[in-house]
Amino acid sequence: MRPLSIDGAYAVRPEVHRDSRGSFHEWFRGEEFTAVTGRSFAVAQANCSVSRRGTLRGIHYASVPPGQAKYVSCVRGAVWDVIVDLRTDSPTYRRWEALRLDDEHHTAVFAAEGLGHAFLALTDDATMMYLCSSTYAPEREHGIHPFDPEIGITWPEGYSYLLSPKDDRAPGLAAAEAAGTLPRGSALPAPARPASAPTTTRKAVADEDDTR
């Protein structure tokens, strides 16, 4: 698990165990997550989306507080996953970073509250799994147009981009900022921290692999 260039964003590259039966990997490990980020992550909702090749979802974000942190992974196919810093008081406001998520390396991405998220499906039936820190609330959900030149995301070429009507009508960054819908990191409460340090060791996990 490593931090990205945007504060509150991380990439997680698991160790994938493969044999004649298939493969096994730990998708999310709370103790390791806390050890790296210094915060807890309580899951309030889990989502699954399946997208045809060329589908572009986002840029989505939620009002803060409470915001909605996301831990996402692609379990089938491949996507071009993008995180955007939409916190107007952040030193990296407007910065974006992209990673390929796929069903070979099983890299996951964590985006803290206040960050925008989007992805482009690179394959048919690209399947994304989300762990979310808060439940869906339509009145708190917002979007920025994924082709807004002020952000300037470099999307992979050679695709017939398919957007939902809602995403295609989403405002640009300047309009969202003028409307006051963009989040401020200072409005977020400090993330919950564990009462004590985790005690489970990696050796214990390795010993359990053959039973799974």
Distance of CA 53 to the CA centre of its chain: 19
Burial of 36 per CB tally in 10 Å (0-12, 13-18, 19+)? middle
Catalytic residue among 10, 60, 142, 145: 60
159 is catalytic: no
Amino acid at 84: V
What lies within 8 Å, CB to CB, of 139 at 6+ separation is none
The CA-atom distances, in angstroms, between 92 and each of 58, 85, 86, 96, 130 are 19, 6, 9, 9, 24
Helix, strand or coil, per DSSP, at residue 181 = coil
Residues 39, 103 contacting (CB under 8 angstroms)? no
Q: How far apart are CA 179 and CA 59, in angstroms?
A: 17
106 is catalytic: no
Burial of 123 per CB tally in 10 Å (0-12, 13-18, 19+)? middle
Helix, strand or coil, per DSSP, at residue 11 = strand
Catalytic residue among 17, 93, 105, 130: 130
Q: In the chain, how long is the greatest CA-to-CA distance?
A: 56
Catalytic residues: 60, 130
